[in-house]
Amino acid sequence: MDLTVEGKAYIDGSFQDCCLGITDGKITAIKKILKGDKHITFSHKLILPAGIDIHVHFRDPGMTHKEDFSTGSLAAAFGGVSCYYDMPNTIPQTTDMLSLLDKINSSEKKSFVDFGIYSGISNRNIQNIAKIGEKCSGFKIYLGSTTNSLMLNSKNLRDVFKAANSTNKPILIHAEDDQCLINYKSDERNLTDHLKCRPSECEETAIKKILTSSKTSKNKIHICHLSSFEGLELLKDKQKNISCGVTPHHLLLNIEKNLSPKTWHKVNPPIRTDIDRAALFDGIQNGSIDVLESDHAPHTLDEKNIEFNDAPSGIPGVETLFPMFLYLAKKEKISFGRLISLFCENPAEIVNVPKGKLEIGKDADFIVIDYKDESKVKSEHLHSKCGWSPFEGWPAIFPTHVFVRGEKLIEEHEMLENQGFGRFVDKW
């Protein structure tokens, strides 16, 4: 074995004192005592699977003043994320083979951690889905307008699901119905106006259309950033191939709080009421919600600090998601088991990547945390290019060490590897 790692590790649903044996980047043995070519002991710390963020916007190419694959993946790594999946609403939009391959090549040169790349589905490229599906990590559909939006008319959903059946790739959907959004569109001066312009009715309408159109789909279908009580109710008896995710900002923030600066909290779907927030938090605890996802969508402070109506929607979060929820797990607001299911195991299953568990045969992707090492989220210490966080001052437990494919990427909060270490997961 190349490496053995000893400590209290999360194995089969509980923390156990054991050793992980690692060969060629894979976990090859889990026993009480192991010795490899190199041995590392983590005393008084916890070893957990690294996170998988299946929903980020790293803005590369075309908007790299906000973020790029280098800074975004660096933020992911320091947040305990070993693998991310990037969305297609970039410039140019990732909707054909050329733009897809260009983005993969760029990320291979820049990324610190492993990654996948989604292709967008629009009304114009449905006939190319099978071909693009040979290379992409999955597909993204936007049923409602948002940042640099790709649009799909909901009338085309059945055709999309039929065309994608041969690809075996997941389909992720932004579930806000565009016609509904048009009906409520008006000028916005604050977060309450933004909520009125994007009511839960629009999420409900989109989800109903997805459920009706997807009955013959063979693909995994993932509804992104669920935000409302009503949407959650619709999905409680969803089909087995359908999953749903939720973001930290929809779980932890609500419109009744005095959120400031207001434009920093402008996001699509909008932050809703405390009734919605509480229902979503119950959903992650009881298993009716499957995934935690950051929807990391950075904008610069110059872009955010303007009149509310003109400010772009989007919140950064790839670096803070796991640390904040590790703190909540310590405080028993959520169990470690549920957190690991939501951010490690279930995402790995949806995107079909051999990560997310400390298990023989899986990639040796794991983090080490000091249970007592609580800190506060401080923008000046984060690595995203945008330079701010809506969770400034919130408590968190950041990993001290991060391993990707058995290689020590971060040691005592210091990066050891160079950009380009990350691999495109669908080439394996």
Cβ–Cβ < 8 Å for 242, 172: no
Backbone angles phi, psi at 77, to 5 degrees: -60, -45
The answer, yes or no, to whether the previous bond of 316 is cis (omega within 30 of 0) is no
User: Is 102 annotated in the active site?
Assistant: no
Cα separation, 81 vs 318, whole angstroms: 8
Beta-carbon neighbour count of residue 128 at 10 Å?
15
Contact present, 139 and 133 (Cβ < 8 Å): yes
In Å, how far are 59, 151, 257, 341, 415 from 71, measured between CA atoms? Answer: 10, 28, 31, 27, 12
CA 207/CA 275 separation, integer angstroms: 19
Contact 255, 271 (CB under 8 A): yes
Separation between Cα atoms, residue 255 and residue 189, nearest integer Å? 14
Q: How far is C-alpha 375 from the chain's CA centre?
A: 22
Instruction: Please state, in angstroms and rounded to a whole number, the distance separating the CA atoms of residues 279 and 229.
Output: 6
DSSP 125-176: -GGGHHHHTTT-SEEEEESS--TT-----GGGHHHHHHHHTTT---EEEE--
Reading the block at residue 25, the tokens are: 């980047």
Question: Half-sphere exposure (CA, 13 Å, Cβ side) for 187?
Answer: 2
Could you please report the per-residue DSSP string of 39-91? EEEEEEEEEEEPEEEEEE---TTT-TTT--HHHHHHHHHHTTEEEEEE-S-SS
Q: Which of 177, 295, 365, 426 is catalytic?
A: 295
Pairing of strands 38-49, 366-369: antiparallel
Q: Token digits for 83? A: 């693998």
Q: Indicate the SS3 state at residue 16.
A: strand
CB-based contact 49:11 (threshold 8 Å): no
Q: Which residues pair with 296 in a beta bridge?
A: 56, 315
Closest CA to 169 of 215, 207, 130: 130
Give the residue numbers annotated as catalytic, written as ranges. Answer: 295
